[in-house]
Amino acid sequence: MKIALIGYGKMGKTIERIALERGHEIVSVIDVDNLDDFESAAFKSADVAIEFTVPQVALSNYRRAFASGVAVVSGTTGWLEELPALKKEIEEGGKTLFWSSNFSIGVNIFMAVNKHLAAIMNQFPNYNVEMTEVHHTQKLDAPSGTAITLAEGIFENLDRKSAWAKETETKPTEMAIKSIREGQVPGIHTIRYESEVDSIEITHDAKSREGFALGAVVAAEFTAGKKGFLGMQDLLKF
């Protein structure tokens, strides 16, 4: 499969290595200094472009790839307020975007466990819930996209919570998400239910970027030849 890379930081380089190890060809690499290459023959030859950049340019990158007829797999977060309009644009225009706040298989298992636990805890109103997420200092958005996705999974299953709040909840229907930025931490997400008598805690602790990068390449393999807005639920089926 022919893959283009949009963004060539640490994640882009890890994705490149894993894609090559899996027998794919990298036909184009686009970064801040060669944006005109979106119109190049090399970029247009790609089956899929994998995009990991920053929220300020993500949507522009998607649209430039779409204009060149290339499907996109992206893990850039921090722009989710634009998601409903973008989904409509993709469906109406016959474009392809596989987007996920987190491509790690382990994180997506954790997301499924999170939903199941929230459904159980819905029966026990004496437990309050909060979340803490820890990432490296280069991560710009807070809370993380993964934390927001986890929060949405809780709200779907826990009737007493319906919105998240940064750091501290201000009313009973909110869930606090505490964000910590330190060192080179790839990502830690902890969900804690606490009552007066005990606490219940689940955590996912990423050891490196490898899991995220592998998941992105697997998603690209899945996305090639498909249309519409896709996500990890389409790939993993749980």
Q: Give the side-chain half-sphere CA count within 13 A for 48.
A: 27
Write down the catalytic residue from 139, 161, 189, 204: 139
For the question of residue 139 being annotated catalytic, the response is yes
For the question of residue 44 being annotated catalytic, the response is no
Task: Say how far apart CA 80 and CA 141 lie, in whole Å.
Answer: 11
For residue 100, give the DSSP letter. -
Task: Say how far apart CA 221 and CA 100 lie, in whole Å.
Answer: 15
Q: Are 190 and 201 in contact (CB under 8 A)?
A: yes
229's enclosing H/E stretch is strand 228-230
Residue 73, both tokens: 């797999």
Write down the catalytic residue from 24, 95, 135, 161: 135
DSSP string for residues in 132-176: EEEE-TT--SSS-HHHHHHHHHHHTT-TT--EEEESS-SSTTEEE
Active site positions, annotated: 135, 139
